[in-house]
Structure 1
Amino acid sequence: MRAAVPAAAVRDGAAGAAPPVRTPRHVPVAQLVRGGIVEGVHHGSVVVLAADGTVAYQRGDAEAAFYPRSALKPLQAVGLLRAGLPPLDEAALALVAASHSGDERHLATVRRILRHGGLTEDDLGNVPDLPYGTAERHAWLGRGLGPGRLAQNCSGKHAAMLLTARARGWPLDGYLDAGHPLQRELAATVAELTGQGIAHVTVDGCGAPLFAVSLLGLTRAAARLATAAPDTDEGRVAGAMRTHPELVSGRGRDVARLVGALPGLLAKDGFEGVQIAALPDGRAVGVKIADGADRARMPVTAAALARCGIDPDVLAPFATAPVLGGGAEVGHLRAVDAPADRPDRNRPRQPAG
């Protein structure tokens, strides 16, 4: 069922035309090679922006409407600040834009956001879930705990939504409805930052409204955040995410490691193979893997960042994933347009298969 759509947000207008809704024209972006033979191909789309905002490279369909999933959270965090989110410290603001792993620091920070508005976990409207991080999930289950709203990876965003609604005097009930004043404000911010109207509104996995934009629009929004002055709402969100990458994701997660390897990088992943990354000078990349395969997301992102002029040695740990046979490496997964492999670079954290 289609969610109620805030009409003012989806109309063509000051933000520009909404992207076309069509089957995206994805193309091959990654190959899995086993024993010298291409065993699997991942299709998708990639866009690379130069520092002046022009498209420096494009593969596939960056103009079609798509769902950014959690890669939209930095934009929603900006929208929450604009809508009246009470002042939060950097760690808490990073959690607002997070898809967190669910470790104790993540949970404690979400509780702190809730307490700021006299709220509790019972007020959260996101779906109950186990922690997203593998180690965190095992530890959680080992304590005999089941799915919970606090543990779900979007709980920071939901806590901030509730806190903003309370600060503005808006009803907490129905805060996830697309027609709620809070969600209308967030839709307007997404449209303004992407420079285009919203093509469609549905419901994300956590229960929040999900706005369809284009990969190009999303990547331009990432560049806007990355280049914003520190005292702006965009700059505050970018600064918090850069300072606390392990709060935005989790310890050992590839996005946190990428930010650690590239100081000043703004990066956020999303379910179904989405990734944005932007440098302080405005160079930015956007990636969508058509089949949602997470294993292809980071190698394709690394190849896109290489087109921004990033040192290949810095990107090496992210550029390929080994393919295993009998416990030994017998191939690799890499972007189709990546530089030639070098044996000393095939050492990512997780095997491809």
Structure 2
Amino acid sequence: MEPVLIKEYRAGIMECSHHGHICVVDDRGETSAYAGDPDFVTFTRSAAKPLQAIVAIRGGIAAHYGLDDKEIAIMTASHMAQPEHVDVLESIMKKTGLSESELVCAASYPWNEESKEEVLRRQGGKRRLYHNCSGKHLGVLAYCKMKGYPLDGYADPGHPVQQEIIGTVAMMCGIPADRIELGTDGCGFPVFALPLSAMAAAYVKLACPDLIADEAVREAVKTIVRAMNLHPEMVGGRGRVDSLVLQDGNIVAKGGFKGVYCFGLKKERLGIAFKVLDGSEEEWGWIVESILEQIGYGNHSIIRELSESFTHDIYNDEGKKVGHADAVFRLQSV
């Protein structure tokens, strides 16, 4: 069964609905609440980036290259290539000696419209560094360079670094590596097909690293999550759900393309993953807000910020209110 998560209305008439699935797991990795199918299998897309960063941070690239927290945070990012992002990415290249040509992600314009217009105004062109995944790629390349792994083919599933990443993702999700089906992400990296319950289990470990038996992984997770909370603007950018909720030091969060979103709550020791089946991202803020309300989340200010930043009112091109959206799902307890 595919429940409706969000309904949108125009002139009082329901214009569209967004179906999906939600899973909430506790610190035992067991499903505690859900909507729809908590074990629905989908691709992690960029929600896996904090997990993919573990291998390089565990390996010691921060100390080896003198990387700071901003540079670590952008390795988990789907950044918008705003000026502050580009500055940090170029700093990583300078410290590591990597060149932009070594990135396999496609040359792109900045995701942020203002930044794109500025590039065009300067008669600039697309750059690989502007790709929203470039921070992830630089982190993995820096690790390969430090380890002496070949830089060529670093995005191939059989490359040693990708094998390390797959093993780490499997450990964090609590499933065997050979049960993870692989696809190819938009940036060229392997992408993981996982049940929402496994994604949520990984995020409860990100939020509660004491659950991780391996000390090196545990310390890497602490470093990564601290950087994300210290510099939420690096993880997404202005107007992004990730960057807003990461301002709350109790939350670690990351979304991915095609409607997948994951977050973990530290004090509550919960991991949450959901998928909007039509692949839309516009509903993320509304869904996160409703989940936090339904579980009785204590930080009301972040719920209020979500409500204000991702208003339920729908406006037309001239700024006139023409409708509204409602979160209509109800979490079921196990």
Normalization by structure 2: what TM-score?
A: 0.87
Q: Given the alignment of the two structures, is residue 238 of structure 1 paired with residue 230 of structure 2, yes or no?
A: no
The aligned residue for residue 181 of structure 2 is 200
- The match for 1:13 is none
> How far off is 1:114 after superposition?
2.1
Q: Distance in 1 between matches of 2:249 and 2:330?
A: 22
1:337 match: 329
* SS state at 1:213 partner: strand
Note the alpha carbon deviations across 1:25-46, whole angstroms, 9 max, x for none.
Answer: 5321111122222211101111
| Larger RCO (CA within 8 A; separation ≥ 6) | 2
2:202 to 221, 227, 233: 221
Residue 58 of structure 2 is matched in structure 1 by: 82
Q: Deviation of residue 175 (structure 1)? A: 0.6
Quote the offset at 1:90 in angstroms. 1.1
In 2 relative to 1, CA 301–185 (structure 1 residues): closer, same or farther, beyond 3 Å?
same
State which drifts further: 238-247 or 326-335.
326-335
Cα gap change, 1:165/1:314 in structure 2, threshold over 3 Å: closer, same or farther? closer
Listed as ranges, the matches of 1:168-187 within 5 Å are 168-187=147-166
Q: What's 2:238 paired with?
A: 251
Q: Contact conserved, 1:302 with 1:318, CA < 8 A, in 2?
A: yes
Structure 2 SS opposite 1:126: coil
Q: Is the 8 A contact 2:4 2:329 kept in 1?
A: no
- Pairing 1:95–2:74 present: yes
Question: Is contact 1:286-1:301 (8 Å) kept?
Answer: no
Letter of the 1:255 counterpart:
D
Give the distance between the partners of 1:46 and 1:299, measured in 2 at CA: 13
CA distance in 2, matches of 1:237, 1:187: 18
Q: Verify the 8 A CA contact 2:24 2:271 in the aligned structure 1.
A: yes
Q: Could you tell me which residue of structure 1 aligns to residue 190 of structure 2? A: 209
Q: Deviations over 1:1-39 (max 9, x none)?
A: xxxxxxxxxxxxxxxxxxxxxxxx532111112222221
| 1:274 aligns to 2:260 (yes or no) | yes
Shift of 1:135: 2.0
| 2:94 counterpart letter in structure 1 | R
Whole-angstrom distance in 2 between the partners of 1:73 and 1:217: 15
Deviations 1:268-322 (A, max 9, x none): 1111111112121222321210011111122112111223322556414434521
Matched, 1:291 2:282: no
* CA 135–334 in structure 1, closer or farther in 2 if over 3 Å, else same: farther
Q: Give identity over the alignment, percent.
A: 32
Report the alpha carbon displacement of residue 53 of structure 1 after superposing the two structures with TM. Answer: 4.2
Kept in 1, the 8 Å contact 2:62–2:68? The answer is: no
Per the alignment, do residues 308 and 178 of structure 1 end up closer, same or farther by CA in structure 2, a change over 3 Å counting?
same
User: What is the aligned counterpart of 2:312 among 313, 321, 326?
Assistant: 321
| Partner residue, 1:351 | none
Structure 2: segments with no counterpart, 5+ residues: 211-216
Q: Does 1:26 align with 2:7?
A: no
* Closer/same/farther in 2, CA of residues 50 and 308 from structure 1, 3 Å limit: farther
Q: Amino acid of the residue matched to residue 221 of structure 1? A: A
**Counterpart code for 2:17:** V
Contact preservation (8 Å) 1:114, 1:160:
no
Aligned to 1:159: 138
- For residues 173 and 50 of structure 1, what CA distance do their matches in structure 2 show? 40
TM, length-normalised to structure 1: 0.83
Distance 2:127 2:292 in 1: 37
Deviates more, 1:145-154 or 1:316-325: 316-325
Letter in 1 for 2:131: Q
C-alpha distance in 1 between matches for 2:135 and 2:99: 12
Cα separation, 1, equivalents of 2:30 and 2:294: 14
Q: Distance in 2 between matches of 1:188 and 1:52?
A: 20
Residue number in structure 2 paired with 1:46: 22
Q: Give the 3 Å change call, closer, same or farther, for CA 324–108 of structure 1 in structure 2.
A: closer
Structure 2 contact 31–38 (Cα < 8 Å) conserved? no
- 1:148 pairs with 2:127: yes
Counterpart of 1:328, as a letter, is K
Shift, 1:200, TM fit: 1.2
Q: Alignment partner of 1:211: what SS?
A: strand
Q: Give the total of aligned pairs.
A: 314
Higher relative helix content: 2
1:348 aligns with none
